[in-house]
Every structure is written in structure tokens, then in C-alpha cells.
Chain A
């Protein structure tokens, strides 16, 4: 079963896949070549074959990425062209060059509400803080309700009712309660983030392998050790699934909060641009948001990879 294990071990660092693969290939022949010297003639051809495969894989990736870029350029070009020949109305629908001009103008000269970086930072700060609070509350309560039957029996119906509420309508309420500052945005981010994280943590705590819990009891674990060393680690993959979605929710909470009423933030940029019929400004704010969201997502994926070294690497489509 050793080769099986090695095969699993090999693709574990896909980030650095190309270089080590090349190194390993060149290291292989002296090892496996010597005992099989007499028998197999195709063995010396192996490095060439491997190189050809690596080349093919590289070509494929190049083709995919190239097509992606071409598609984007084509779409933006089409939009620009249609707007310039006035097939679509450039005032209402704007065009890529105007959006770019708006973004660089904001970046260089600042927005009407202050420097661009300050707006980005404000939104990010609200979303991040709301996300952290929401995640902590969701995980703690989810695990607690998942582990303690009495709590889940008592609180279950209330949680369902709260979840059925379209929580984004709470944003104006928070604005009244907490004012125009960051607190009201953080609060709307928290209520949006809490529920998906809570339900996943709860489900994760419920779906822990019973066999594993039984074995831990036999091995000598008490209830506290089972919660912290068996249930929580088992539930982390469930929780992480919800973290991805919920960071998006945190951004939505912050933006909607800012849109309704704020003194700073990207949501305010959207509202202000809309108020002055500046379509390019709305799009520019959207692009900035998308970039922020993608960066956060990338960071999360990186953390997840660090944390889940124990998991078998997905080699297939699943």
C-alpha cells in the first residue's frame, strides 16, 4: 500500500506542482532504473514522456487562461464599441473607458467623500469585524446547541423564526439604533453572517461520527475533551464551508448599511454616484468591491489549505 500512500502524497502541494514534479522526475530514474535495468526498455524513455505530459498540461493551462482573457477583452470591447456608436446609451449604461477613468480619478484625486483607500478600508473594517463577531457567535452557539440537547430543544423554534425573517430589513433599524457610524453596518453584517455559520456548526456538531465519539469515550475522553478534541475538529470542515459564503454576506451587510446612510465607505460611493446620475461611479464601486471580495476569498482559501492538511487531496471533479 506504500505506492498508494505516495501517490496521495504527491499532489499535495498543487501550488508548487510544476517545479517539484520536474525535480522528482529527474530524480526517479537512478532509483527505479537500476533494479529494472535488464527488463524494461521503456524505462529510459520515461523522463521524456513525463516532460511531454508536463508540456501538454502547461499548454492546456495556457489555452484556458488565454481564452479567458480574450473573452473578457471581447466583452469589454463590445460594450465600449456599442456605447461609442450609441447603440446603448453611454449616459445610463456608461462604458469601460469611463469606468476606468472614474476609478483612476478616485484613486488619484480622492472621492468626494475623502480618499479612496479610506472608503475601501472603512467597508473592509465593518465587514471584517461583523464577520468575525458573526462567525464566533455562530460557531459557539452552533456547537453548544449541537452538543446540548436541552438547549437545542428550547431554542430551536426561535432560531427557525429568526432565520425566516429577511434580515436585511434590520439594516434601517440598526441605523436608527447605532447611528451613521460603523456600528450599524457591523450589526447588519453580524446578523447576515451568523445564521449560515450557526446552521453549519450545528449540523457539523450533530453529524460527528458516532463511532469516533464512542471510541474516544473508550479511550478515556470526558465530555469536555469530546467537545474540544472530537466534535469541534470534525465540525471545522462544515464551518469552513460556511465561512466562504458568509464573508460575502458580511460585505453585503456593510454595503447595504452604508448605502442607507453613512459618512464613509464604498456603499456611500454607490449611493452618492447614483444620486448624481454617475453610472460610471456605481460600476467603479462595484469593480472595487469585487476585487476586495476576491482577495478576501483567496486569503480564506489559503488558510483552509493550511488547516486541512489531513484531508485527502481532491484529484477529481468533486
Chain B
């Protein structure tokens, strides 16, 4: 019962401390409280290297928190859950498998029959516009096409919770806008909750329902902004609207300060 009504993700007083090889502790995330509702698209922005990605690995179950709790659908996270999708910054495709075989990997790992897995994979390849490329190997694809493969690999598992770690940061500006639109298109109707980590404020506003601004590392939530722009959205045109610019200015006032802090730290580190 509680799993039906509880939020998609709850982080309660979560901290994560890594030990560097030399033994000095490094706090990546400190005392983090964050709630993501079901079906919500939440973007997390913060200065580079502040610990945004660590937050995602905690939610995914790939890492365990040092302190505090991480709940997914009301249950404490223990190991990698099966309702989960994760799109990485670098494309994690199998270079020795064809495009089709890459997309079937998820269902096959989960015990789906070969024919059925292929059928599911083909339908997702169709949706990301790669139907004609199913026999290609990853090295024969462009950056944008690889991203589409990664998206199809994730969506074919029908995740309830989608974690994205700067997925489009390696793409050029035009491809990035195109992929953002495609992501919104794929996401709409799945009912999945999304946590999208980025350092690009424009991208976060264009995509999300809610933008979470993190502090300079160790990361904790600084401020949360509701984005009231109507859906469906076109990423390229929405950023020209007056309301978008208003929101941008408002959030930047908060984020800019953290970015400055990070920069100054970098300067003193270098000195």
C-alpha cells in the first residue's frame, strides 16, 4: 500500500564519504534531503564536480550511503533495483555487439526470451529512429546515434525511475537540443520519474518540472525551483520565451554564487 503512495525517491540526511587511495576522506554528498514525486521530471544542477553524480549512484544502489537513508518507492535501496534505468555520461554500450543486440541486452539479462527481446528492441529502435541501423556496430555510429542506442537500451526495460547523469554533455549544441526533444517525447506517457543531472542551467529549465540547485561540494540542496512552463515543450523555442528568461535569471542568482565559490576554490587549489 505504502509503495503505491510514497514518493519515487526520498533522500533523508544522506551523506557519502569516499576514501582516496592515500586514505584522506573526501565528502562528496553531505546531509542531503530531497524528494522526487512519481512521474516528476527533476533536474539537478550544480557546479562541476560538486557531487551531483554521486547522488545518482546512491539512488541507483551502485553505491551505499555512509550516513542517512535512501528510499526508492518507499523501500530502502539495497543493491541495484529492477525498476531502474540509468543513462551514463559516457555511452556504456557493448562495442562487440550490434545495435540490435545491445538493445536486447537488458531484457535478455532479465530473462526475457530471445524472440520477444528482439521484438521489444526493434520497436524501441524504431522509436529512436535507428531501425535501419540494427546491424551496425557501435564504432560505426555517430555520437548522437550512440546516445539514441543508450536511450533505447534504457527505455526497453520500461523503467519506473530514470536516472540520467549529464547524458548529453558530450554532444554538439544542435544534436543536444534534438536529443532533449526526443527524450521528452520518449518520456511522455511512460509515467516514469526522472532525475536528470546536468551543469547546464538552460537544459535543466527546458526539460524539468523542478530544478534543484546544489551547493558547491560537498553537495547538499541549496534551493528548489518549480518550473511552470507548459508541456509539451520544444527545447529550442522555449528558451526564447520571456518566462524562460525570468526563471533563468532567478535560478542563476542562486546557482551563480555556488559556481563562483567553486571557481575561487579552484584558483586557491592551483595557487
Hey, which bits of chain A sit against chain B, CB under 8 A? 1, 4-5, 8-9, 209, 211-212, 214-222, 225, 229-230, 233, 236, 308-312
Contact = CB atoms under 8 A, between A and B. Distances in A.
Contact of B88 (A4, A214, A221, A236): A214
A270 B92 CA distance: 54
A211 B85 CA distance: 14
Interface residues of B, number: 32
Nearest to A226: B109
Contacts of B106: 219-220
Residue among B96, B110, B143, B144 with max Cβ neighbours from chain A (10 Å): B96
> Interface of chain A, helix or strand or loop or mixed?
helix
Given A4-B142, A8-B140, A219-B153, A310 B80 contact: no
Nearest to B90: A211
B157 interface: yes
Interface of B: 60, 62, 80, 82, 84-86, 88, 90, 92-98, 105-106, 109-110, 136-145, 153, 157
A218 B139 contact: no
A309 B84 CA distance: 32
Contacts of B96: 233, 236, 308, 310-311
A218 B80 contact: yes
10 nearest CB pairs, A to B: A1-B142, A215-B92, A220-B109, A219-B106, A220-B110, A312-B139, A310-B96, A218-B86, A221-B109, A5-B140
A229 B90 CA distance: 20
A1 B141 contact: yes
Given A9-B140, A309-B137, A216 B105 contact: yes
B145 A225 contact: no
B140 A216 contact: no
B140 A311 contact: no
A219 B163 CA distance: 12
Contacts of B138: 310
Contacts of A215: 86, 88, 92, 153
A8 B139 contact: yes
A230 B94 contact: yes
Given A8-B139, A310-B139, A312-B139, A220 B157 contact: yes
Nearest to B106: A219
A311 B97 CA distance: 10
A209 B96 CA distance: 13
29 contacts: A1-B142, A1-B143, A4-B142, A5-B140, A9-B140, A209-B92, A212-B92, A212-B94, A214-B62, A214-B88, A215-B86, A215-B88, A215-B92, A217-B62, A217-B80, A218-B84, A219-B153, A220-B106, A220-B157, A221-B105, A222-B109, A229-B105, A233-B94, A310-B96, A310-B98, A310-B139, A311-B95, A312-B139, A312-B140
Nearest to A12: B140
B198 to A, nearest CB: 18
Contacts of B62: 214, 217-218
A316 B106 CA distance: 35
A225 B88 contact: no
Contacts of B109: 216, 219-222, 225, 229
A8 B137 CA distance: 11
B266 to A, nearest CB: 25
